[in-house]
A = this chain, B = another copy of it.
Amino acid sequence: MLQFDSMMRQSSADSPTFSPLYRQIKSLILQALDNGEWRPGELIPSEMELASRFSVSQGTVRKAIDEMAAENLLVRRQGKGTYVASHSDPRAFFRFLRLVPLTGVIESPKSTPLECWRAKAGVEAARVLGLNAGDPIIVVRRLLEFSGKPVVVDEIYLPGEIFAGLSLEVLKESQASLYSLFEGKFGVRMIRAEERLRAVAAERASAELLKVPEGSPLLSVERISYTYGDRPVEWRRGLYSTVEHCYLNELG
């Protein structure tokens, strides 16, 4: 089925699209994940099983899984097996909220949904989310509090088709993080995001929610999140009060 040599191999002059066997395996595993063959948090087959399924050696499967583990798509656990990464895993919790207190220890925020309504995508939302203008979208507004103090107000735009059942009630009932909810209830797993940060002056509505003076500086964080296959599925804008917190980033 899969062959590294013979027909599939092509010299660089003939074809620039050659990819090594372990990347082909990676694509197949990715495809299975996208198809929901194994859900977030679940155990995938052992390396040996996958090797025989794809008719390659264990080492080749291992290299494919290595890359996917490095990309936080899979999680290896020695002696147990390899799991599909999940936002319910506490280890993945702070990957998408890089906010830490200026002093003191890290604490989990409390999320309060404020509003949730249906709308039609404007030109920009359509462009960002890969929709057509006028397509249905869902907008969520919510507040994040640390130690009882409001720190972040978010406005979140989602494709209406994918998140059809989402409502303020569903959001209020959910105890888990937003991304855990998306994963569990809508089968959408966020695997990557781009954030664009700017400093802006607080407008009245945001200032009141965050309990800061109107016009004070806020951190504006615009995020586009992608699921498998680099499909954008969330557009979000947050305003962060950086009086007692800051956005922590590691440059490697």
Chain A interface residues (CB < 8 Å from chain B):
70-72, 95-96, 98, 192-201, 216-220, 222-223, 240, 242, 246-252
Quickly give the copy total for this chain: 2
| B residues in contact with A195, CB < 8 Å | 248-251
Q: Which of B197, B198, B217 contacts A201 (CB 8 A)?
A: B217
- Closest Cβ of chain B to A128, distance in Å, is 14
Given contacts A194-B250, A196-B247, 17 further A-B contacts (CB under 8 A): A71-B252, A95-B251, A192-B250, A192-B252, A193-B250, A193-B251, A194-B248, A195-B250, A197-B197, A197-B219, A197-B242, A197-B248, A198-B246, A199-B199, A199-B217, A199-B218, A219-B219
- Closest Cβ of chain B to A83, distance in Å, is 18
A191 nearest in chain B by CB position: B252
Contact A201 B216 (CB under 8 A): yes
Contact A242 B198 (CB under 8 A): yes
- Closest Cβ of chain B to A82, distance in Å, is 18
A251 nearest in chain B by CB position: B193
Complex alpha-carbon distance, A249 and B196, angstroms = 6
- Closest Cβ of chain B to A222, distance in Å, is 8
A217-B246 contact given A192-B252, A251-B96, A252-B72, CB 8 Å threshold? no
Q: Which of B193, B219, B223 contacts A199 (CB 8 A)?
A: B219
| B residues in contact with A199, CB < 8 Å | 199-200, 217-220, 240, 242
Contact B251 A197 (CB under 8 A): no
